[in-house]
Amino acid sequence: MSANQKQKQTSCKVCGKSSWHIIETLLSGIWDRSQVVLRRKVIFFPIGRCKHCHHVQVTINYTKEIFEALYFSNQVEPNMWCDTPQGQKSPYEEMFDFIQPCIEDGAHIVDFGAGAGTTLKYIDNYCKEYSPTLTSVDFHNHVQSETIKHISGDLNELEIIRRKFDETPISLAISTHVLEHVIEPVNFLSEITKMITDNGNIFIEVPDCSPDANMNNLEFTNLIHGQHIHYYSKESLAQIVKLAGLKIVKQQQLTTGNIPRLLLLLKKSNSNIQHSVIPIENNASKSVTKRFNDYSNYQESLFKKIQQALKKDKTIGLWGIGGDFYLLTQKYPELIHWITSNKVTLYDYELAGHVFYNSKIICSSEIKQAKHPVILLPMYGPTREKMKELSINWGANVTVPC
């Protein structure tokens, strides 16, 4: 998609109106690797607050083209979480603690958007005494387990697979870090509501953009991400849940490696479905604004570090040629000048051999032998952690700016 292509505005997926106050625009994208010379396909995601109900979401339509670029490009998915420090509970353990009281004998537990099946596999390990039936629902079967049944389905069209649960209604539906990716969250939850038993539960977890959630170091999180269509707060979710004919029975806010998390347990509501939407006072806009400010401040300090390093040494290396690198070159064109004049060498494992502004990208395994200092560029916490570990193993001269 070209940068200046007119993108069609979408309606608010909570109240249905189409009038937006744009908070910020996220520049996401992917590398076009079809040629040796790398080109960036940029996708603009304006994030807006609905002028009517104050829900915060991306205000353009997610076309088939966008979905394909975001989900089916050959990028390797980064780890979702950092390693759990010793003596602390892992995110999966915390999820399990949250849902365990509602797991009964012979439960049918279904994970909508199961991905690699980490949550289901955790339940499988720790719930054997309940003899649960476990099912994963997702585009592709990445779970590959003998004890977990897989149903292929599009999470944006759950009505197509609804009948598959007629014989075996669901006692516990799980959907973690999925609701922010679906186009119509109310419809998504309504469809799941039709598949659960009358006494069944739905467990959802989303990144927490409530004004009282953790707002420290948001630049190291994936809170704002091209794949995230919706930005939720406790108050916006409370409305969405009601619109879907559900009620909240339990709620918890947690922070893992800077990532604010919101966990909800839902049940069918006995009262009439609410159709009107009350303006969401405590919406996600504060948190979204904070993340963009944090990101911009970090970019500035990162650029200064590069500048200082070049004053000290004739040449330096930059490691990790992804979205953060690209955005840095857009904000500070001087960086491109240093790359073309060979003052800055680029290192990346996946992109080795490609060329960016006349500079051939070197495989990151060469960092071991590098004579110059190398600065690590990606900002996402779990990615930084993995790269840092590698560089320690190599005994290499790598700076991890913080």
Residues that bind Zn ion (CB under 5 A): 12, 14-15, 50, 52-53, 55
Rank residues 14 and 306 by Cβ distance to Zn ion and give the closer one. Answer: 14
Rank residues 53 and 209 by Cβ distance to Zn ion and give the closer one. Answer: 53
How far apart CA 244 and CA 188 sit, in angstroms, is 8
Rank residues 188 and 295 by Cβ distance to Zn ion and give the closer one. Answer: 188
Q: Going by C-beta distance under 8 Å and a sequence separation of 6 or more, which residues neighbour residue 201?
A: 99, 102, 171, 172, 173, 249, 265, 266, 267
Rank residues 10 and 133 by Cβ distance to Zn ion and give the closer one. Answer: 10
Q: Going by C-beta distance under 8 Å and a sequence separation of 6 or more, which residues neighbour residue 197?
A: 169, 170, 171
Note the helical H segments in 50-90.
64-71
Q: Are 168 and 144 in contact (CB under 8 A)?
A: no
Rank residues 12 and 192 by Cβ distance to Zn ion and give the closer one. Answer: 12
**Cα of 232 vs its chain's centroid, Å:** 13
- Taking alpha carbons only, the member of 257, 256, 206 closest to residue 234 is 206
Tell me how far, at minimum, the Cβ of 108 lies from Zn ion, in Å.
35
Rank residues 55 and 121 by Cβ distance to Zn ion and give the closer one. Answer: 55
Tell me how far, at minimum, the Cβ of 23 lies from Zn ion, in Å.
14
Tell me how far, at minimum, the Cβ of 15 lies from Zn ion, in Å.
3
How far apart CA 288 and CA 20 sit, in angstroms, is 15
Count of beta carbons in the 10 Å neighbourhood of residue 312: 8
Tell me how far, at minimum, the Cβ of 13 lies from Zn ion, in Å.
8
Tell me how far, at minimum, the Cβ of 12 lies from Zn ion, in Å.
3
Tell me how far, at minimum, the Cβ of 342 lies from Zn ion, in Å.
51
Q: Tokens 């347990």: give the residue.
A: 265
Q: What are residue 20's DSSP bridge partners?
A: 50
Residue 258 burial class via C-beta count within 10 angstroms: exposed 0-12, middle 13-18, buried 19 and up: middle
Rank residues 55 and 261 by Cβ distance to Zn ion and give the closer one. Answer: 55
Tell me how far, at minimum, the Cβ of 99 lies from Zn ion, in Å.
30
Q: What are residue 398's DSSP bridge partners?
A: 374
